[in-house]
Each structure stands twice: as C-alpha cells, then as structure tokens.
Homo-oligomer: A and B are copies of this chain.
Amino acid sequence: MAEMDIFEAMYSARALRRFKPDPVPDAVLTKVLDAAIRAPSGSNEQSWQFIVIKDAAQRKKIGDIYRKAGKILLALYENRVRPEHMSEKTFNKLTASAFYLIDHMGDAPVLILACIQQVAPAGPPPKLPPEAAEAMKHMVRMAGSSIYPAVQNIILACRAFGLGTCLTTIHAFYEDEVRAVLDLPHSVHTYALMPVGYPSDKFGPITRRPVSEVVHLDRFGNHWKG
C-alpha cells in the first residue's frame, strides 16, 4: 500500500481532469476499488457495482456520450454567475478544466463508473405507518448515501497512489445510452463517472469557503466559532 497521511490526502486531492497517456496498473486499480468498498452503505447492503472501462473503443463510446451531455452542461452554464466564494481566476480555471473534460473524457486511460444495483427485497412488502408513504418521498435524494462515500474513498485512494480523478455526474443525462454501451441491467443505476490517470496537473492545495461560514452550532444562523 502507498502510505500517506489521511489529512494530506484529503487536503490535496483536488479535481484533476487532464491525464498522461501512461497506463494504470491493474494491481493499483484493484487496491483503489478494494479501498472504495470499505465505505458505508445503507443497512450494509453493499449494492454497489463498479465498471472499470479500459478498452479504447468502449472509452470512446462513453466519451462521445459525455460530450453530448456536455452540451447540456454548457447550456446550463451559459448564464452562470461566478459564486462569491470563488475568485475570478479560480472560476475561470474550473470552467476551462470542466470544458476540457467534456471533449476528453474518453482519453483518460481508465474510466470508473460507480453504480447502485437495486434488488427488490425478499419477502412480502412491509406494513408501513400511514405517514411513511409521504415520508419515503424524501428518501430518493438519500440514495447517493450508499455510493458517494465509496466514490470519495476512490478519490482519496487515487491520491495516495499519485493518480488524478474527479467526480462527474452529467453522463446521466443520457443514462440509457451508457447502459446500452456497458450492458448494464435495468436494475443498475449510475451515479458517478470518474476519469482516472496519472495527472498532467499538480495535486492540491484545496481552498474552500471557511468553516465559520458553513457550520452552525445548535441552530441554523448561530455560526460556529470553534
């Protein structure tokens, strides 16, 4: 195992989108994925499935879908105003890097697609209290709680092995096309498409809005003074 302090990994694993053509050894990918699945999943169901895409023809097909999805992203971004917390330089760098990836997703030596396979529970359906049906609606947006922690482990494990990656989601605009390319059953839903490779750009540091702005003590608006 590569050794790296956890905080060093977390503070320097910034989103990287440009990669050298060097291949990534399978043994390293196995370690990255073995670390990924140490993450939690709801009720320990471990219903995750990961597709590692190395084949050049398959990568090209996924890259073409991503490029098409990128056109929707560009439309969404057309009127985007720079958020206050980002400097103009950071904003322009991010935008340029994201736009680069739209055209080059398929060029990364490896793509990892993180999915959840929904399997109908065995046994008869449970009897729920009357208010539960309404409450269950809230739970759709919680689905990612069983896959994005594993995705973050991929990001951090990649960092420890000197690999760059980033978390993207816009392939899902055309999820059915992705499903067709990769033979995904209908029970499999995609959550993140991650390009992986040895990066052309440097790792970290990662700058963020400060804790005092986004953390509150006991009630919203009572900002954390730590």
Q: Which residues of B contact A159 (CB under 8 A)?
A: 6
Copies of this chain, complex-wide, total 2
The minimal Cβ–Cβ distance linking A147 to chain B, given in whole angstroms, is 8
**Residues of A within 8 A of B (CB-CB), count:** 115
**CA A80 – CA B6 in complex, angstroms?**
36
**A4 touches which one: B5, B51, B139 (CB < 8 A)?**
B5
Q: A156 to B10, Cβ gap below 8 A? A: yes
Instruction: Across the interface, name the chain B residue whose C-beta is closest to A51.
Output: B216
Q: A86-B44, A145-B148, A173-B132 are in contact. Are A157 and B6 (CB under 8 A)?
A: yes
Selected from B81, B129, B215, the residue in CB contact (under 8 A) with A75 is: B129
Contact (Cβ within 8 A) B173 A54 = no
A24 at interface, CB cutoff 8 A: no
Within 8 A of B (CB), among A1-26: 1-7, 9-11, 13, 15, 26
Beta-carbon contacts of A166-191 to B below 8 Å, as 1s and 0s?
A: 11010011110000011111001101
Contact B218 A75 (CB under 8 A): no
Q: Which of A67-90 contact B (CB under 8 A)?
A: 69, 71-72, 75-81, 83, 85-86, 90
Q: Can you give 25 A-B contacts (C-beta < 8 A)?
A: A10-B39, A29-B226, A43-B94, A50-B215, A52-B216, A53-B218, A54-B217, A75-B132, A78-B126, A81-B121, A81-B123, A132-B173, A135-B173, A138-B175, A141-B141, A141-B191, A142-B144, A142-B191, A145-B191, A148-B152, A182-B218, A182-B220, A183-B219, A184-B220, A185-B220
Residues of A within 8 A of B (CB): 1-7, 9-11, 13, 15, 26-27, 29-30, 33-35, 37-40, 42-46, 48-55, 58, 69, 71-72, 75-81, 83, 85-86, 90, 94, 98, 121-129, 131-132, 135-136, 138-145, 147-149, 151-153, 155-157, 159-160, 166-167, 169, 172-175, 181-185, 188-189, 191-192, 206, 208-209, 211, 214-221, 224, 226
